[in-house]
Copies of this chain bind each other. A is one copy, B any other.
Amino acid sequence: MSNRDLVPVYDFVDGLVAAGVTDAVISPGSRSTPLTMVMARDGRLRTWSILDERSAAFFALGMARVRERAVVLVCTSGTAAANYLPAVIEAYYSEVPLVVVTADRPQELRGVGANQTVDQLKLYGSHVKGFVEMPVPVDTATLRQHARAMAVRMTVCATTPPRGPVHVNWPFREPLIPPRAMAAEDAHDLPAVVHPGRLVPAPEAVAWVLDTLRAAERPLVVAGPQQDRALAVRLRRWAAREGIPILADPLSQVRTVEGPGDAVIDTYDALLRSPRASSPPPDWILRIGATPVSKVLGQYLANARECQIAVSPAADWRDPWFTVHHVIQAEPLALLEALEQAASDAVRPQRQAWFHRWRDHNDRAREAIRLAIRSHDTDRMDLEGRLFLELADVLANDAVLMVGNSMPVRDLDTFFPTLDRRVRILANRGASGIDGVVSTAFGASAGEGGGGVWLVIGDVSLFHDLGALSLAKRLGLTLRILVVHNDGGGIFQFLPQASERDTFNHFRTPHGLDFRPIVEALGGTFHRAGTWAEFREKVGQAANAEGLVVVELRTDPEVNRNRHAAVMRAVQEAVLE
């Protein structure tokens, strides 16, 4: 073996670039040296260096989410590759394209006790869309063509809907230092150019959906988590024209795009707890996107029999209640375009009444929430969800809002209002882990277009990804974090575990951690907001700051639960009036 045998690595990188890859997230290590050196020297790829592979993978996930293109990950052999698994699983279920490239020992060093050698074949099991074991590189025309072809093929696999992660395992034999560049005679044909297709619905299916929804008296759209903003814009416009209310999960993007939001119902999580608001039942429901966050909405869908139409390009429509009745196989945007093309007649009177009833309930609920919050104690930090109302006023056009799992995403769902502004809302809802959330937000920061990134997160989740706070300084990134610090897992206050006091510390897990010195040690700015006035002041400062800014809200989970219940009651009363 000579260094020259590493030339196929150049071809691989050429293939990645040809397939549209722009960024590689690299963790340090020895076995991956050929990949690291070739990528770091390639002027066409931007490389990011992150020490902790778990963090690196979530960072790549966040970047791929906002870029809407595949991001490459590179690490050395052994447990380094194992640290990618949590983010790979999240990427698989949330359909985010990642090209994971793990360096490995050559085949002859496997299973015989060589150092740092583990079984990396199919390491991510059923959580990747594709896996390829590369040959140990040799400088032959065939292996160079193969390396180019695999780079293209695996990137296309990752970016073809449903998108997701792919795994390239690449064994390298020493020496590991690649030649500094390919020589002129190394020029070669470019790899295949792939022209992506589009899964459109069958014309009969479109006609049937049109007829069905036109005839419906009480139709609804339920928009679950999805990333396509063009789809969100169209959905708002089409539903308003057709007189169909959209129960819009905040992660559907439908609450936060430009254009009139007349059809958007954003208080269903409070409304559907009231029998008055949740009956009569809908007669047809068009479902777009993944499973909604709201448990209340989930229960509503579980009870909606023989009337649900899901749109999904593959066999993976999300329906944990087994109540979906029709599945339209198509990219959702393609179906929407087809529905929009069929110009609508005037909306029928019964339909008008249904639409305006939902609108009226939504307005009442929204007003009841505002009143309940304001009338109680204007400034006291007793309701965590209020931060989403406060924050909504501050977010700039094209801002990114990343929200942690467990309580923050639920409060987002309950409280975040509909805006006439483009805000991209992200959460790791593929597997709904509390791990890697800070890293994902930093990845979004590295990938976003200029509106700034805000992260709302609980203290347990922030603690879980503590090391990622170093990424601001390390990579020169800006991130504003609002941490709801109730010293442990506040969500358990809402669950039956709370009444079993003797074991409750295994769920609440109070840790007593003060984040301030850690944030400051990592070069960040830390503020603590004790009142909403302080919160507005600190958030205003954060909006104009660079680097890492953390604003902490100290809350009491028991007080929060009681206030939350009071606000929900106020909504129910408002609907009864």
Indicate if A514 sits at the interface (CB-CB under 8 A).
yes
Q: How many copies are assembled?
A: 2
Interface contact A320-B497, CB-CB below 8 Å: no
Chain A stretch 101-125: residues in CB contact (< 8 A) with chain B: 109, 111-119, 122-123, 125
- Given A506-B28, A506-B49, residue A496 in contact with residue B177 (CB < 8 A): yes
Instruction: Give the number of chain A interface residues (Cβ < 8 Å).
Output: 91
Tell me which residues across on chain B come within 8 A of A470, comparing CB atoms: 463, 511, 513
Stretch of A86-94, A137-145, A343-351 contacting B (4+ beta carbons < 8 Å): A86-94
Cα(A474)–Cα(B505), bound, Å: 12
Least distance between A101 CB and chain B CB atoms (Å)? 14
Distance A317 CA – B112 CA, assembled complex (angstroms) = 7
| Contact with A52, one of B116, B127, B463 (Cβ below 8 angstroms) | B463
In angstroms, Cα B473 to Cα A162, docked, is 45
A162-214 contacts to B, CB under 8 A, are 175-177
- CB <8 Å contact, B432 and A116: yes
Q: List 25 A-B contacts (CB under 8 A).
A: A26-B506, A28-B492, A36-B503, A37-B500, A37-B506, A51-B460, A51-B464, A51-B511, A54-B54, A78-B432, A79-B85, A79-B89, A82-B431, A89-B118, A112-B319, A113-B291, A115-B291, A115-B320, A116-B433, A118-B127, A122-B125, A177-B497, A466-B467, A467-B467, A473-B512
Q: List the 5 closest A-B pairs by CB distance, nearest first.
A: A113-B318, A79-B433, A517-B521, A114-B320, A79-B86
Residues of A at the B interface (CB closer than 8 Å) are: 26, 28-30, 33, 36-37, 40-41, 47, 49, 51-54, 78-80, 82-83, 85-86, 88-90, 92-93, 109, 111-119, 122-123, 125-127, 175-177, 290-291, 316-320, 322, 429, 431-433, 435-436, 460, 463-464, 466-467, 470, 473-474, 489, 491-492, 495-497, 500, 502-503, 505-509, 511-514, 516-518, 520-522
